[in-house]
Amino acid sequence: MQPPLHVTLLARACLSALLLLQQLSCMTAQPAAAPGGNSSALAADELALLSFKAALSDPAGSLASWNASNRICSTWSGVTCGSGRVVALRLDSLGLVGPVSPFVANLSFLTTLDLGNNRLVGHIPPQLGRLSRLQLLNISANSLDGDIPSALGMCTGLATLVLSSNRLHGGIPDEVGALKNLVYLNLESNRLSGQIPASVGNLSSIQELRLANNTLSGAIPPSLGQLPNLSSFILYYNNLSGPIPETLWNISSLTRLNVFEMISPGRYLQTCSIESLVSVASS
């Protein structure tokens, strides 16, 4: 399928602009449900949840309902069960402070883990890689540091992965490319460095890829041109170099590409934005 003509023209305009500018450093910019209930299995989930809670401080008392005299599945706030096992933990914006206990990875039927917008610190536990049924992981807007564990590449059920607005550093692990069901990946506003791995071109379901506001360097891998459904690729505020690979213009679904270049510390030149055409602006 051909891209719409205007997108093609804008793409060419962007490409020409980038070819002129390429000497500059580019900074721009199904899981199955559990079979019938099993009280000893649910007791294991309870132990995992209580261990998760014990590692945190909960100044707002958001997890006060998590006590042994209450039934997990009907009264523990933020906990959802399915077929007698814990399948979702939605604990965003509860003011939780402290580390993410690796015990959360014992919730083996978990499909949703949303811990966004709390005050979580420490590392992302690599044990999360055991959560093979996980479809959504959101730990956005916390203060986590350390690397993105390569073990997350084993969570092959993931459709949504949001680790944005933390203090994560190190590179984007190659193993991320194994997440074949991933539709939305957001790693924005961390301190990630190194190159965008070529394996990102293996995220065959991806629609929105947000890597902006890190210190990623090197060239954009041409393998990204293989992504059939990529519609939004947001890269501004990085330390990338080289032109946008021509392969990207072959993605007919791509309607939003946002790349800026840093022309001096704190000043950005928007060199390419398909949605708003090439404009030259600094901020």
Ligand X SMILES: *[C@@H]1O[C@H](CO)[C@@H](O)[C@H](O)[C@H]1NC(C)=O
Closest CA to 262 of 25, 6, 41: 25
Q: Which of residues 106-135 bind ligand X (CB under 6 A)?
A: 106, 116-117, 127
Q: Is 69 in the site for ligand X (CB under 6 A)?
A: yes
Residues 6+ positions from 265 with CB-CB distance below 8 Å: none
CB of 161 to ligand X, least distance (A): 9
Binding test (CB under 6 A) with ligand X, winner from 22, 25, 150, 156: 25
Binding test (CB under 6 A) with ligand X, winner from 204, 231, 252, 255: 204
Q: How far apart are CA 99 and CA 52, in angstroms?
A: 9
Q: In what order do the strands lie in the sheet with 119-122?
A: 97-99, 119-122, 143-144
Q: How far apart are CA 258 and CA 189, in angstroms?
A: 15
Determine the residue with CB nearest ligand X. 116
Cα angle 86, 185, 27 (rounded to 5 degrees) comes to 150
CB of 203 to ligand X, least distance (A): 9
Q: How far apart are CA 217 and CA 222, in angstroms?
A: 15
Stretch that binds ligand X, among 52-60, 81-89, 149-157, 211-219 (CB under 6 A): 211-219
The amino acid at residue 11 is A
* Residue placing its CB nearer to ligand X in the complex, 17 or 206: 206
Q: Which of residues 215-234 bind ligand X (CB under 6 A)?
A: 215, 217, 225, 228-229
User: The tokens of 92 are what?
Assistant: 């965003």
Backbone φ and ψ of 253, nearest 5°: -80, -15
The contact set with ligand X (CB under 6 A) reads: 25, 38, 40-41, 44, 64-65, 67, 69-70, 75, 92-93, 102-103, 105-106, 116-117, 127, 138, 140-141, 160, 162, 174, 177, 184, 189, 198-199, 202, 204-205, 213, 215, 217, 225, 228-229, 239, 241, 246-247, 250
